[in-house]
Structure 1
Amino acid sequence: MINMKKLIEISEVQRTYSIKRKLLEEWKVQFEELEVEAEKLSAFFQRNYENKMIQDNFPPELQELLENRLEGIRLSAKTATRLKRKLNNEKPLEDPPKGFIPIKKTNSNPILELVEKDNQSIFLNFFEEEVDEIIKVNRDQVELLQVDIEMAEKRFFQFIEKALAPIMDGLYNGKLHAKELVIYTNDSFPDYKTEVIEWVSIYEELMEEVNKLLKTYFVGLLIPEKGDYFDELKHDPIAVVEDTEYHNEQIKELVRYGYYYKKTINNQKNFIIRPAQVTVVKNLLEKPADKEKSGHRDEGDINEV
C-alpha cells in the first residue's frame, strides 16, 4: 500500500494544478474584458478629437499652433484605434490541458483514493508504480499550465508596453508642449490665456482615461520627480547632463513614464514592465551630498498618479 509521503505528494500536485488552472482562466477572462475596454477607450479618444474645435476668434499665429496640437491628438486617437488589434485576440489563450488525472478521497475509506481516468472511476490499490505514473502525468500537466500562464503574462505586459504606453508617451509630450504654449500665450496673447488653458486640458482628460484602464488591471505609472536619485531597476538613463544645482545621480528630467505591475508575480512585487526614461546629473565637481534635503526616497518607493 502507498505510504503517506506519496499521498502528500499527490495532494500537493493537485493543489498546485487547481491554483494554476484558476489563474489561467482568470487571464482568459481578463483579455476578453480588455477587448471591450480597448474599444471604449478608442471611442473616447475619437469622440474627443472630433469635438475639439479651434475658435475662429483666435489670432492666426495662435490658431496655427493649436492646429499642430490638434494633429498630435488626432495621431493619438488613431493609435488608440489599434488597441484591440494589438491584443492579438485572434490567437486566444489555450484551454487548460485535459490530461490531468484528478484524485479524491472516498467517503467510505479516507485511505483509498478515487481516480477519474478515461471517464471511468477506479480505486487505486496503491501500487507504487501506478501512483508514480499518475504523479508524473500530473506534474507534466502543471508544467504545461505554467507555460501557458507565462505566455499570458508576456502578452499582457507587451500590450501595456507596445500599445498603451506609446499613447501615453505621445500625450505626455503633447502636455509638455502645451505648457510652453500657455506660457507663450500669456506673453503674446494674454487675452486668450484662459481659453488656451481650457483647450489644452484635453491632454489631462485623455491621460486620465488611459490611467483609469491601467489601474483597473493593477498597472501603475512610474513617475520619478526632479531630484530623485537614479535607480537602475526603475530608471533608464537616456542622457547625462551637468547641473551644479543637483548632486550626482539625481534625476534632472523625466522623459517618459515607466510602468510597473502592482500584483505579485513570480514571487516578485512591483514587477517593472518598463523603466521610466530620465536624464541624470553627472557633475565633474561634485558638491557634498545631502540626500535628505534633496528629497531622496528609499529604493522601494514608487511614484504614481
Structure 2
Amino acid sequence: MTIAADYAEFGLREARGVSPAYERLSRAVAHDDEVLGLLASLPEGKRQPNLLYGVVRLLGGPVDDPAVFHDYVVANWSAIADELRVRATQTNEVGRCAFLVPVLAALPQPVALLEVGAAAGLSLFLDRYSYRYGDRVLGTGEPVLECELTGVAPPERLPEVAWRAGLDLNPLRVTDPDDVAWLDPLIWPEHEHRRARLRAAAAVAAADPPQLVRGDLVDDLPALAAKAPGDATLVVYHTSVLYQVPRDRREAFIDLVKGLPGHWLSSEAADVVVHDDLPEPPSDTFHNVLSLDGRPLAYTRPHGQGMTWFG
C-alpha cells in the first residue's frame, strides 16, 4: 500500500466519525505530493498518520487546518523528521482494558500480567479501574472505562492480579514530565474524555510505579516471563503493538509466545495477526481482532469503545 493510500484509509476507516480534525487532515495529506515526498524519505515504520500528527502536536504545530498543517510541516520538516525517527505511537490507551477484562476474569485466578509494548504501563493496572458495560458498573476506581459489549455478557468480577510487568523498547515513566508530555499529543484532538482518563490512569501508576523493562519482545521476553510467580496464571498480552514490528520479528514473537507457559492475549489488526475464517466485521470502520492463544474471539474498536463477540 502506498503512503497516500495509508493516509486515505486512516481518514476513512479510523478517523471518520471519530476525529473530524484527523479525517480532514488525512484526506488532505493523501493528496499532498510535497508532504508525501517528505514522508517517503523516512523508514517505512515511521510514516504512519498517528505518529506524524502526534509529533506535530508535540512540537506545538497545528492539526485543525490542512493548509496551515502543510505549511508547518514543510517549514519545520527537519525537527519533525528527527522526532519521527526516535519515537513510536505509544498511545497507552487504557480504554482497551475494557475488552481485556472479560477474558482475563474468566481465566484461573490470580493472573500474572506481562504486557508487551507497555509504554508507561497504564494497562497493567486494569484491576484498579472501573468499567461501565451498558447499565452494569464493575469496580470502584478511576478512571471509569465505558465499552459497548455485543454478543457476550459483562464480566461478573475484575481479575485478581498477583504480579504485573511490562516490556518495551522505550518504556515511559509516568513520574517523568518529558515522558508524560509525549502521551498527551497521542490522544486525538477532540477526545477530552480520553485525555481525562489518561490523566486518571497516570495518577494510579505514579502512586505505584509498575515494573517496566527496556527490551526486545523476542530477545528479552523469556527472562521477564520467568520472573512471574508460579502460582499465578501468566498472561502475555498486547494491543495494537505488532503493526510496528517488522514481519520477521513479529513471526518470531508469535512462535515464541505460543511456547511460553500460561496464555497469550492479543488485540491486533486482522492483517497483522492473521486468523483463518474470520466472520465479517460488524461495520466498515476499523476493528482489531481479540484472540486468546491464537483463537479469535471478538472484534474490538481501537480505543476500547466497543467489542463484538463471536468466539
> Which of the five TM-score ranges fits, normalised by the shorter chain?
under 0.3
Larger relative contact order (C-alpha < 8 A, sep ≥ 6)? 2
TM-score of the superposed pair, with normalisation by structure 1: 0.26
Q: TM-score, normalised by structure 2?
A: 0.26
Structure number with higher strand proportion: 2
